[in-house]
Amino acid sequence: AQTVTQSQPEMSVQEAETVTLSCTYDTSENNYYLFWYKQPPSRQMILVIRQEAYKQQNATENRFSVNFQKAAKSFSLKISDSQLGDTAMYFCAFMKWAGGTSYGKLTFGQGTILTVHP
C-alpha cells in the first residue's frame, strides 16, 4: 500500500514571495504518477502539476514547479510570485501506473492549508 505524508498542516506567505510545500511518499512501485492538487474555498479540486516517476526532469507549470527526488521519495511544490488566488488547501497525491495504464486510485496526503497575505 502507498502512503503520502504532508508534514506541514498550515503555511503562510506574503504576496509575491516564494513558498515550498513538502510531500513524502512511500511505495514499492517503480512506475507511478505524483500530483499536486489545489482545493480553494469553493472546494473544487484543481490539478496544479503532475510528475511521471520515470522522468527525471522536474515538472513546471508557470509559477509552479516541483522538486522530485525519487530515491528520497520526496515531491515538493514550489510556488513562485505567490498570489492571493493561491490561497487554498494543497494536496499531494500518488497514483500507481503500470504497463501504460493507470489503476486510477489516488492516494492523498493530509493536505497543507496555504494562506497568501497581501
Q: Is 45 in the site for other proteins (CB under 8 A)?
A: yes
Choice from 43, 57, 62, 85 touching other proteins (CB under 8 A): 43
Strand pairing category for 101-108 and 74-79: unpaired
Is the CB of 13 or the CB of 45 nearer to other proteins? 45
Q: Are 55 and 31 in contact (CB under 8 A)?
A: no
What value, to the nearest 5°, has the Cα angle with vertex 66 and ends 62 and 31?
120
* Residues facing 107 on adjacent strands: 94
Closest approach of Cβ 107 to other proteins, in Å?
Answer: 8
CA 3 to chain centre: 14
Question: In the range 65-104, which residues lie near other proteins by CB under 8 A?
Answer: 89, 91, 95, 97, 100-104
Q: Is 113 in the site for other proteins (CB under 8 A)?
A: yes
Is the CB of 33 or the CB of 64 nearer to other proteins? 33
Q: Is 50 in the site for other proteins (CB under 8 A)?
A: yes
> 40: Cβ–Cβ under 8 A, 6 or more apart, which residues?
46, 85, 87, 88, 89
* Interface with other proteins (CB under 8 A): 33, 35, 42-45, 47, 50, 89, 91, 95, 97, 100-111, 113
